[in-house]
Structure 1
Amino acid sequence: MILEAAILNVKPGLEFDFEANFKKASKIISSTNGYLSHELHRCIEVEGKYLLLVRWDSLESHTVGFRGSAEYQDWKKLLHDFYDPFPTVEHFQEVEI
Structure 2
Amino acid sequence: MLQRRRHNRDKLQIMANILDLSLVGLKKTHIMARANLSYEQTLCYLKELQVTGLLEQRTEEGAVVYGTTVKGRTFLDYFSHMSRLIKEYADPAVPRVV
Larger Rg: 2
Higher normalized helix content (fraction of residues): 2
Q: Which has the higher strand share?
A: 1
Greater relative CO (CA pairs within 8 A, separation 6+): 1
Q: Same fold (TM over 0.5)?
A: no
